[in-house]
Structure 1
Amino acid sequence: MSNVVNFLTAGVFGGTTLLALKSGVGCGLSGLRRRETLFLAFVYALTALIIGAIAGSIPVNATEQVVGLGVVMHLIIGLALVYFGIRTKKAWLSDRKDISRRTFLLMSLPCPACLAATFLSCLVFTSTTGVSGVAAGGVIGGVFFAGIAGGGAATSWITRKAGMDNPSTLGNVMLFLGLFYLLCLLLVPAYLQAQDAPAFGIATDPSGMLLALVLMTALIVFGALADRIRHTAERGGR
């Protein structure tokens, strides 16, 4: 039983760390000042502490609604990351216009999906370790603070050294994360169904999944080709 507890606890910390690093990467690629990054990290830590304090008083039945909200927001954020990632990259490459200080918010600000994940992290952490909700929120908040501050500083340093500190890099990362979000929504239900989890009774059609992936890839390739043709035509007309 202790191995299961350790596994769940490690999963909570791993998921929280990934969320924190995602936000930190967004801060680092958008050129935020160190003070601004630390402020955002503090907001995440405080939010986790508050969520941990109230997690124990929320009925268990409400957790299903929280999971459902997280899945819906996961889809919306995935689509938004793809769209605004393309816009960020296009605005910089075509017009030399930097809109990264607005679009990075999709990666860095606490969204409903991140809040739902934080709530579930605090809930699982208190259930597996037996600590209080406030202590769990404090630990999760500390992971968020360290991950955002460290991830932001490391990303900023790496991109400067590699000469990639421009909005186009942020656009590429947002596009990648958006496609990853959407891919997770296709794969996770299939995995849950394979594990016979009736609580997540989501019908999965392999042919439909394949068609969705093909359409997604075709749209990306079509957009890239159209942008390349447009740039070639503009250079040829000058």
Structure 2
Amino acid sequence: MSNLADFLAAGTLAGIALLAVKTGIGCGLSDLRFREMLCFASVYALTAFITGAVVGVIPLDLTEQVIGLGLVMHLIIGMALVYFGIRTKQQWLSDRKDISRRTFLLLSLPCPACLAATFLSCLILTDTTGISGIAAGAVIGGMLFAGIAGGSAGISWIAARTGVKNPSTLGNVMLFLGLFYLLCPLVVPAYLQAQNAPAFSITADSPGMLLAFGLMAALILLGILIDRIRHPANYGGR
């Protein structure tokens, strides 16, 4: 049981780290000053601390509603990320119009799905480790602040040095994360249900699988090549 509790706690902290990375990517690829990045990190840390302080006094039925709301918002935000990611990339490549200072907020602001994830993380951390809600909120808030501030600065520096800090890159990241958001609620329940299904003996066709993966990779590379040919000049800059 102790190993299971440690596994859940580690998974919770890993999820919070991924949330910090997502926010850091949005801040780092946008045109924000470091002081503004620190403001976003502080908002997340304060939100996590407040969530941890109230996590122990919220009734169980309300907790289930919060988690359910987070799943619905997960899908809505996924669709919004796909749409505005395409929009951000399109506006930059076609008209050289930078709308990333508004659209990056979808990645960086504490959305309802992020709040539900923070709430669930505080709840799991208090149940598995036995610490108080305030302590759990402080731990998660500290992780969010450090991850967002450090990730934003690091991603901004790397993107600037490699010449990819432009709205087109931000649009690609938003599109990828949006598709990921949409696929997770579909894949995870299907995987969990498959664990209880009877096992069938299926012979894998290794050459066919390799051919399928090769075709997928070729299509992706072809798309990248076509995009480079259509826009050979500089992607960026003001």
TM over 0.5: yes
Q: Which residue in 1 is equivalent to 2:192?
A: 192
Report what 1:199 is aligned to.
Answer: none
1:148 aligned to 2:126? Answer: no
Residue of structure 2 equivalent to 1:203: none
1:54-133 matched pairs, under 5 angstroms: 54-133=54-133
Equivalent residue, structure 2, for 1:20: 20
Give me the CA root mean square deviation. Answer: 1.8
Question: Could you say which residue in structure 2 is the equivalent of 1:178?
Answer: 178
SS of 1:165's equivalent?
A: coil
In structure 1, the gaps of 5 or more residues are: 197-216, 233-238
Give per-residue Cα distances to partners, 1:71-100, cap 9 Å, x unaligned: 100000000000000000001000001000
Moved over 4 A (4+): none
Deviation (angstroms), 1:195: 4.1
* TM-superposed deviation, 1:188: 1.3
Identify the residue that residue 209 of structure 2 maps to in structure 1: none
Q: Which letter maps to 2:25?
A: V
Partner Cα separation in structure 2 for residue 2 and residue 157 of structure 1 = 41
Rounded Cα–Cα distance in structure 1 between residues aligned with 2:142 and 2:31: 23
SS in 1 for 2:4: helix
Work out the CA distance in 2 between the residues paired with 1:86 and 1:159: 20
1:48 is matched with: 48
Determine the C-alpha separation between the residues in 2 that align with 1:67 and 1:51: 13
Q: With structure 2 as the length reference, what TM-score do the two structures score?
A: 0.82
- Letter aligned with residue 189 of structure 1: P
Equivalent pairs, count: 203
Distance, in Å, in 1 between the alignment partners of 2:19 and 2:167 is: 21
| Closer/same/farther in 2, CA of residues 195 and 55 from structure 1, 3 Å limit | farther
Residue 193 of structure 1 and its aligned partner are, at CA, apart by: 2.1
Tell me which amino acid in the other structure corresponds to 2:185.
L
Report the Cα offset of residue 185 of structure 1: 1.8
Look up the equivalent residue of 1:129 and give its one-letter code: T
Amino acid at match of 1:96: R
Counterpart-to-counterpart distance in 1, 2:135 and 2:23: 23
Distance in 2 between residues matched to 1:195 and 1:124, nearest whole Å: 23
**Number of the residue aligned with 2:31:** 31
Q: Distance in 2 between matches of 1:132 and 1:27?
A: 31
Helix, strand or coil at the partner of 1:31: coil
**When the two structures are superposed, what TM-score results if normalisation uses the length of structure 1?**
0.82
- Distance in 2, matches of 1:37 and 1:49, equals 19
